[in-house]
Structure 1
Amino acid sequence: MRRSAAPKPHKREGIWYLVRRVPKEFAAFDRRCLVRISTGVAVADDPRGVRARDAVQSLGAGLEAYWRRLREGQSAEAGLRFEAARKRARSFGLAYRTNEELAAGPLDELMARIKLLLDKKSIEDAQDVSAVMGGEKRPAVRLSGLIKEFETIEQQNLLAMSPNQIKKWRNPKKRAVANLVGVIGDKEIASLTRDDAIAFREWWQKRIVEDGLDIGTANKDIGHVSKMLRVVDLTHQLKLEPVFRNLRLSGAVPGQRAAFTAEFIQEKILAEGALDGLNDEARHLIYVIADTGLRLSEAANLTTETIHLDREIPHVRVRPNGRRLKTGHSARDIPLVGGALAAIKLHPDGFPRYRDKAASLSALVNKVLASKELLPTSEHSLYSLRHTFEDRLTAVEAPEKVIASLMGHKWIRPKYGAGPSLAQKREWLQKIAFTPPGRM
């Protein structure tokens, strides 16, 4: 709902009142044209309306909350009725059509549906008639309810995610919808127009020019909203116009992820005392990532079940283990050498402080590295250790298949057999292993 001017108190029979006209977006749920609510403050006791203004603002906020609850409750009930009718229509072998859609369509289809009800002897069954003849309107989903609706539809994709992964999945969508609502208001998705979409695009263009924001962020917002609308439209057969199609902004430059030099890592980051000030788990995770190339989340989520120090070749296994891996190729076994082996020996059960909290690990380590001038440029970060790992393997001319296997990347050829063995991978890792500081 668009922000309106703060309501002012009105005098009525010696009492200050809140007087509000029901906004158009709530008119279907509250049939009153004008709402009057007493503040209980007498004009004689508050002639300038100072106390009454505070009371009116509080009553106004409560009234708006009431309207929203009313809308959400009725919308939810209508949505359930619609879904029941749609499923019932399928049981008749029909695609659901509202009665307005049937009336606007071919007469033959309308007559065929009536004949079906007669043949099935369902003409007296109100639910069957509603399903076949389109008695329920399509659900009115508002932008404020779009994420919830999308999440309900996509729930099977969330089952494998950890709580933190779900949060990361949800947050950019929440940001995109909040930005859109801030530009055009909390409209029903069925009433969105191309003008609304263009207004959102122009709003982002202005922010990019005036505030120096990233084009990629704007395109992500547009992409998230467009995808959610497309999925909800497909599921509920809303027949929405693709108003966000082809609105992505041009000029986005792919981010260049920097890598440290091997010498910088060994001589600066792994120098004795260089990481003092970091807690043990964070410091030792740096050693693990540097010598395994693990993604931050993969290293932070190692557990007793995925750490194998007692094997002939000590190694860690990257597996879902309560969370979804980034890609299907991410599952892999990585031998432990150098600083990674030394660090894992100190943490045979993993790093519980940062389990499912890779973002916290990244924020802390990057802050400390920056304060100690251990980030050569603004493009460098903790994640740069992974890029250095790949560069180092390339420098010693490791086979591409070995590099892909260690990085968790897709191999360019069809996969046959088990891939490089632990012994083969350890052979190449030993060529690039760092020497950890004497005082771990």
Structure 2
Amino acid sequence: MKHLWKRGGTYWFRMRRPKRFEKVHPPAYLTQPLGTDSKSQALTLIPAIKQQWLAELEARLAGSASTSSKEAYDATLALLKTHNLRPLPAEHLAQASIHDILDRLNQAERLDPSGTSNEFASFMGGIELPDTSVSTLAGKMDRILEPEVRAKNNRQRRVWSAKWLRSSKVFNESVGDKPIVEVTKNDAYSVRRYWQKIVETGRVETGYANKHLGYLKRMIDAFYADLEIDEFENPFDGVRIARKQPWESKQSESRKPEFSPLWIKETIIGSDAMSGLNEEARDIVIICAETGCREAEIFDLPENSILLDADVPHIWIRVEMPDHESDPQANHVSRDIKTGASIRRVPLLGAALDAMRRHPEGFPRFRGNANYYNTVNKYFRDNGLFPSAQHTIGGLRHSYESRMRRLGIDNEERAQLMGHSLRKVRGREIYGDQTDLRLRALYAEMIAFPTSSWQPRSYDKLSSRIDEILEAEGFKLKS
């Protein structure tokens, strides 16, 4: 039987030592008494003994290179796990019960009776944490927090990663790069003072600075969570800029300038002003103008979320998760979205439906990159199409809501079409279903622009149709 050896009257574990461990274990075999003369009982012990041996050898091998490396720590952690122990720094072990301390000591002595190895020390609170620096950690956040980026495409990953790199850069400029385990409360205060000076110059707002202080706190939390250490002190706990600058409370709210309905109709829907723009970019602009969607919600659309043959043609804004395990050959598209409230089905009609029909597979030229923004804004500026120098194409989304608001469409219906949080709109918990897609299409038609081949119905006819649908479902309406 594999790895089972009977010596005298008892069974032993016996396994040929893998060649890669020769440096840390010269004998050709790994042997250990199992303390039983029962073959069935011995067989049940083999898997755990083998796992412990391999974990111990990995720890020795990693420790022989650098005891402060992440690899050495991971190997030591694996060894502790085989003994059902968790990593515990000496100061925390000192506060443990006598029973727990003696249990660790007994296991450590069985592993190394001499008490001189790194493995023995790790059992007794002498585990050495990796010397990962702040800048190195910033570049590894996508691995440590992998679930957060699993659904993101390349563009979204770059944006997500940039915040950790920016925070690390400021830390280095204010304190200097150093290992995470050496970061102190005074370091955190130094970073805060650095941000405070930047805020005072007016280059950034207090909220922006506090976000980046929060990112450093999150990085340190993630570092220890990755090491499976539960008890630690985060120097950035509670460190933030408490008060806004006087100029912040007096400035007007920053909003993207909107476009008038007349400008949209004459520049985007019913003219040749965009004829010099490539077709994908041109049609993304049209769809944004007639749906109020965020630009990335359109140019990142995968083919399977474009539902042109549905009873109500629409696009589905949702998280797209690649599933290479079930179908490794499939051409999956990753896409994250801004918030949970952004998940919605958006009806297509008029110019938006025509534009989407020209691109039933989506917009591969711009999917997963940020080229759309520069391409479109540059074209509009170079051709003098924007109403002012402050305008950007992103203002179309704000214009869409204003068009609904001016027509008197209910705030909650607007929020659902726009992908805003109903909870924030109501100021309380949400109850009830979302508006039916048929009704959303009717609300959208109320503000849609006519095209050469399509004419929206009048407001009165659309309102009557909405009432008919609701009454057919049993809702009581005002007479």
Structure-2-length-normalised TM-score: 0.66
Aligned equivalent of 1:428, options 443, 449, 457: 443
Tell me by how many angstroms 1:206 deviates.
Answer: 3.6
> Relative to structure 1, is the Cα distance of residues 118 and 225 closer, same or farther in structure 2, using a 3 angstrom cutoff?
closer
Aligned equivalent of 1:142, options 133, 156, 176: 133
Distance (whole Å) between structure 2 residues aligned to residue 353 and residue 162 of structure 1: 14
SS at 1:122's partner residue? helix
Distance (whole Å) between structure 1 residues aligned to residue 205 and residue 386 of structure 2: 22
Distance (whole Å) between structure 2 residues aligned to residue 415 and residue 379 of structure 1: 40
- 1:150 touches 1:228 (CA, 8 Å); kept in 2? yes
The count of residues paired between Structure 1 and Structure 2 equals 361
Measured against aligned partners, the alpha-carbon deviations of 1:69-126 in whole angstroms (never above 9, x if no partner) come to: xxxx966963233234345445555442234654xx24x7467423455379835476
Highest relative contact order (Cα 8 Å, sep 6+), 1 or 2? 1
Give the structure 1 partner of residue 318 of structure 2.
319
Tell me by how many angstroms 1:339 deviates.
Answer: 1.8
Distance (whole Å) between structure 2 residues aligned to residue 304 and residue 96 of structure 1: 47
Give the structure 2 partner of residue 300 of structure 1.
299
Aligned equivalent of 1:191, options 182, 207, 212: 182
Give the structure 1 partner of residue 360 of structure 2.
348
Distance (whole Å) between structure 1 residues aligned to residue 275 and residue 129 of structure 2: 61
Structure 1: give runs of 5+ residues left out of the alignment. 1-72
Pair 1:414 & 2:402 matched: no
SS at 1:176's partner residue? helix
2:398 maps to amino acid: H
Aligned equivalent of 1:113, options 101, 107, 130: 101
Aligned equivalent of 2:403, options 376, 382, 392: 392
Distance (whole Å) between structure 1 residues aligned to residue 107 and residue 80 of structure 2: 15
Tell me by how many angstroms 1:381 deviates.
Answer: 2.0
Give the structure 1 partner of residue 263 of structure 2.
264
Give the structure 2 partner of residue 403 of structure 1.
414
Distance (whole Å) between structure 2 residues aligned to residue 162 and residue 255 of structure 1: 29
Q: 267-276 or 218-227, which moves further after superposition?
A: 267-276
Structure-1-length-normalised TM-score: 0.71
> Relative to structure 1, is the Cα distance of residues 172 and 398 closer, same or farther in structure 2, using a 3 angstrom cutoff?
same
2:341 maps to amino acid: H
Give the structure 2 partner of residue 245 of structure 1.
238
> Relative to structure 1, is the Cα distance of residues 74 and 225 closer, same or farther in structure 2, using a 3 angstrom cutoff?
farther
Tell me by how many angstroms 1:399 deviates.
Answer: 3.4
Measured against aligned partners, the alpha-carbon deviations of 1:152-184 in whole angstroms (never above 9, x if no partner) come to: 321122212112211110012212212321232
- 1:338 touches 1:434 (CA, 8 Å); kept in 2? yes
Tell me by how many angstroms 1:393 deviates.
Answer: 2.0
- 1:88 touches 1:131 (CA, 8 Å); kept in 2? no
SS at 1:333's partner residue? strand
Distance (whole Å) between structure 2 residues aligned to residue 227 and residue 235 of structure 1: 12
1:285 maps to amino acid: I
SS at 2:345's partner residue? strand
2:380 maps to amino acid: L
SS at 2:303's partner residue? coil
> Relative to structure 1, is the Cα distance of residues 120 and 137 closer, same or farther in structure 2, using a 3 angstrom cutoff?
closer
- 1:289 touches 1:295 (CA, 8 Å); kept in 2? yes
**CA RMSD in angstroms, aligned pairs only:** 3.2
Q: Where do 1:223-234 residues align within 5 Å? A: 223-234=214-225
Give the structure 2 partner of residue 70 of structure 1.
none
SS at 2:87's partner residue? coil
Give the structure 2 partner of residue 339 of structure 1.
351
Pair 1:366 & 2:373 matched: no
Distance (whole Å) between structure 1 residues aligned to residue 254 and residue 125 of structure 2: 50
SS at 1:354's partner residue? coil
> Relative to structure 1, is the Cα distance of residues 328 and 368 closer, same or farther in structure 2, using a 3 angstrom cutoff?
same
Give the structure 2 partner of residue 278 of structure 1.
277
Tell me by how many angstroms 1:208 deviates.
Answer: 4.3
Pair 1:172 & 2:171 matched: no
> Relative to structure 1, is the Cα distance of residues 377 and 392 closer, same or farther in structure 2, using a 3 angstrom cutoff?
same
Distance (whole Å) between structure 2 residues aligned to residue 218 and residue 390 of structure 1: 30
Measured against aligned partners, the alpha-carbon deviations of 1:231-280 in whole angstroms (never above 9, x if no partner) come to: 22344337244246332362356632333222232234445232243211
Identity in percent: 27
Distance (whole Å) between structure 2 residues aligned to residue 294 and residue 76 of structure 1: 52
- 2:108 touches 2:123 (CA, 8 Å); kept in 1? no
> Relative to structure 1, is the Cα distance of residues 213 and 399 closer, same or farther in structure 2, using a 3 angstrom cutoff?
closer
1:265 maps to amino acid: I
Aligned equivalent of 2:195, options 193, 204, 208: 204
Tell me by how many angstroms 1:191 deviates.
Answer: 2.2
> Relative to structure 1, is the Cα distance of residues 341 and 403 closer, same or farther in structure 2, using a 3 angstrom cutoff?
same
